[in-house]
Structure 1
Amino acid sequence: MKLIGIEEHTLTAEVRDAWNAIDLASADPSVSIHSGGIERRLLDLADERIALMDETGLDVQVLSLTTPALHDLGVESVGLAKRANDMVAEAIARRPDRLEALATLPVAMPDEAALELERCVLSLGFKGAVLCGRVGHRNLDHPDLRPMFESAAALGVPLLLHPRTPAPEVRAAYYSGFSAEIDAAFSMFGLGWHYDAGIQFLRLVLSGTFDRLPGLQVILGHWGEVVLFYAERLAVLDRFSGLEHPVATYLRRNLYVTASGMFSPEYLARAAAIVGADRLLFSTDYPYQYRPGCDARRFLADCGLDEADRTAFAHGNWLRLTERGGGPTISGSRITDHR
């Protein structure tokens, strides 16, 4: 059974150097975790990556730039994004049987980001794009950022909403008071990352993004970034939201959910109950969740799904989601059908 991991990360030396040039680590502690063996595996797009895929049992990795991506960079991010995407495209050309990609976008420049997404999908064959939460002080539902979402909807490709570290003032209020190491971990992979990503998705819902763009599809990792476990409470918002549909509709119509290496049958069952088994995607969250001897196929075999749903989880849902690419696209004020 073909096994495709759709949240598998990369980094380029140029992006790392751009983070260091603005001392981003002082504002976002996630920059500091990209070191040692983690950094080596992020930078590698060849032998070690493929060998560890074989060890884990993963047939295909869908590559995406790791958090915080280019969200804290300005006009220089346009060139950085293009070069990062071209580098990944070259790696895919060497191993098209093992690698796919989500585009890196210069998100601080939304019009340019929309065009780069179009280039990556139509010229490079990428499957969508990754966004890492806030752009500066703007949440993803900010009107300035709409061109990226409009482009994704017109292209018919998904956006992975990846976690990023909460804003410094949020960390100070909720994730501080221990040692520097505990504060940082608490605000990132301990919990803060996941609340932040889930909130970004809910802001898209509550802002009416999916009413304006009903075909837009987004992906949340880590079994829905906490959101799915509070679906009953979120339903209370229906009384106040003024949206066209209940929140539950957007969870089943516009959201896909992936494992991100959290190999829990219980979490899988909860996600399937909320979004449907046809919206579950596999991923290992490489290299962060890589552990020697960790067997993705063992989890797949024991996950509790029947054969048809297990096949869909392993690869079928991803193939169905991404076969939409190559549809109408936005270019300036024009919509062009490339099919």
Structure 2
Amino acid sequence: MRRIDAYAHILPRPYFDKMADMAKDKAAIKRWLTIPVLYDLDARLKMMESFPGYQQLLTLSNPPIEMIAGPEESPAMARLANDCMAQIRDDHPDKFPAFVASLPMNNVPAALEEMERAITQLGARGIQVFTNVNGRPLDDEEFWPIFEAAVKRYDVPIWMHPARGAGMPDYASEKKSKYEIWWTFGWPYETSAAMTRMVFSGFFDRLPEMKVITHHMGAMIPFFDGRVGPGLDQFGSRTSDEDYEGMLKRMAKRPIDYFRKFYADTALAGGKSGIRCGLEFFGAEQVVFATDCPFDPEGGPMFLRTIPRAIDELGLSKSDQEGIYFRNALRLLKLPCDC
């Protein structure tokens, strides 16, 4: 069966070299330096040949552009990344049917210009944002024009990737997160917090057609559907210094119904129970296949084996399987189904 990996990461070699040169702290990017499939296209293509019918939608890997480049340099970095991904797509359309545009989020006017160029000239099929912009929330009004343009002007989906580092401590008495808690549990929290900010700041009321693809199966939301559902039906009862109860009364839907409007992917490192939980919450029509390639212990191929195995063992109907593996992605990207 055809499989379109909706969240496959890449650092095109010209961009990778520039990023490595700009990085002030080489230790911070040490993991990227040890995964050839991330920046070596020949290695990536060779790996993909071992998986018949497998294709990738290209998304730029961590770190966010705005984390490594200031507002003066980030627009050029975004242009370089998008030019490189467009070229890879053009050179290998059978392997990479589309790419997702990266934006310099620390320079909103430049981000709007690059979005227009990437979509209208290069043919990008969506945009990628991270869950915060150097610590600022996505519902900061300065970023609103980016989301509004993506939905109203270009009608493209939005990929949302978690961004959180060890510098965000787990306890107020400490200066950094220990034991990689910032990643293992911090990233799901980060995604869930960004989703919640979108819900309560009215993103879906102002942009009802918005399609946001959350990485790692909607993070904490499906598992905590009871807290999100009945729990947030009591929104405001725990807060005395904000009129959250008034906000709840003004919302057109229950909070949990807004959360169900997000899309999710299967990038859960091969965990079957998490995929089942996410499918029950979002529905198969709002889940896309993704592997998080090449961030596995083998540097690429492991999740390409284990995640399809987990999906196939769930006993889904052929229609749901096809939807998850490729039809949902094609529909989101407005690409024809030549299968």
Q: TM-score with structure 1 length normalisation?
A: 0.84
Q: Say if 1:15 and 1:176 are closer, same or farther in 2 by CA, change over 3 A.
A: farther
AA matched with 2:61: T
Greater alpha carbon shift after TM alignment, 227-236 vs 139-148: 227-236
Do the aligned partners of residues 256 and 16 (structure 1) sit closer, same or farther apart at CA in structure 2, a change above 3 Å counting? farther
SS at match of 2:133: coil
The change in CA–CA distance for 1:319 and 1:206 in structure 2 (over 3 A counts) is: same
Match of 1:10 in 2: 10
> Which secondary structure does the structure 1 equivalent of 2:66 belong to?
coil
Distance 1:172 1:301 in 2: 37
Alignment of 1:24-173 (within 5 A): 29=28, 31-36=29-34, 38=35, 40-45=36-41, 47-57=42-52, 59-72=54-67, 73=69, 74-99=71-96, 100-154=98-152, 155-166=154-165, 168=167, 170-171=168-169, 173=171
Q: Within 2, Cα distance between the matches of 1:85 and 1:303?
A: 36
Paired residue secondary structure (2:330) = helix
Partner of residue 242, structure 2: none
Decide whether aligned partners of structure 1 residues 24 and 16 sit closer, same or farther in structure 2, where only a CA change above 3 A counts. farther
- Aligned-residue CA RMSD in angstroms? 2.6
**Structure 1 stretch 135-144 or stretch 277-286: which is displaced more?**
135-144
User: Is it true that 1:302 corresponds to 2:296 in the alignment?
Assistant: no
Q: Distance in 2 between matches of 1:251 and 1:120?
A: 29
Unmatched tracts of structure 2, length 5 or more? 236-244
1:246 corresponds, among 241, 244, 254, to 254
Higher RCO (CA-CA < 8 Å; seq separation 6+)? 1
Q: Which runs of 5+ in 1 are unaligned?
A: 326-339
Give the structure 2 partner of residue 328 of structure 1.
none
CA distance in 1, matches of 2:23, 2:55: 34
SS in 1 for 2:223: helix
Going from structure 1 to structure 2, the CA distance change for 1:19 and 1:215 (only over 3 Å counts) comes to: farther
Give the drift of 1:115.
2.6
Match of 1:214 in 2: 208
TM-score by length of 2: 0.84
For this pair of structures, how many residues does the alignment match? Answer: 313
Cα deviation for residue 111 of structure 1 reads 2.5
* Aligned counterpart in structure 1 of residue 186 of structure 2, from 192, 202, 226: 192
- CA-to-partner distance for each residue in 1:173-232, whole Å, 9 max, x for gaps? 27969xx9x8262212x2212211221121111111111111111011212112221122
The SS at the match of 1:96 is coil
Shift of 1:261: 4.7
Query: 1: CA distance between counterparts of 2:181 and 2:292?
Result: 19
Deviation at 1:8, TM superposition (A): 0.5
Percent identical pairs in the alignment equals 27
Q: Aligned with 1:222: secondary structure?
A: coil
Alignment check: 8 A CA contact 2:166 2:178 kept: no
Residues 242-270 of structure 1 deviation map (CA, whole Å, 9 limit, x = unaligned): 322212222222x1110115223322221
Separation in 1 of the partners of 2:18 and 2:333? 32
Q: Does 1:279 align with 2:279?
A: no
